[in-house]
Amino acid sequence: MSLASTSPPITAQAVRADSIGYLAQTFADKRLPLQVLRSAAGYYIGTLDDHDGPCSRESFEYFPSRDAAAKALATGAWTQRSHP
């Protein structure tokens, strides 16, 4: 008898529906809300840990402005990255 969990693996669609980061959940085991963040490359949709800082870049795209990234997040018009 196996002691491994029988729950199905988390999907990008499930975490996106909950507005949490798929990569943060999958690779860092952190349930963090999606938000607009900024790097030298531009604005992106990602997650931020209050203690450790930026955790994941969830969006494939970089956006030219905070407003453009916020609109993409609000409307779902962005592409989820599958790997860190």
Overall number of domains in the chain: 1
Task: Report yes or no on 18 lying in a domain.
Answer: yes
Residue identified by tokens 């997040």 is 73
Residue 43 lies in a domain: yes
Phi, psi of 22 (to 5 degrees): -65, -50
The reported pTM is 0.82
Would 29 be classed as within a structural domain? yes
Per DSSP, the residues of 48-76 read: EETTTEEEEE-BS--BSSHHHHHHHHHHT
Q: Is residue 45 part of a domain?
A: yes
Lookup: tokens for 73: 């997040």
Q: Over the stretch 48-79, which tens digit does the pLDDT of each residue have? A: 999 999 999 999 999 999 999 999 999 999 99
H/E run at residue 44 = strand 42-49
Domain range enclosing 26: 12-75
Residue 4 pLDDT greater than 60, yes or no: no
Which strands form 42-49's sheet, in the order they lie side by side? 35-39, 42-49, 53-57
Task: Report if residue 82 sits inside a domain.
Answer: no
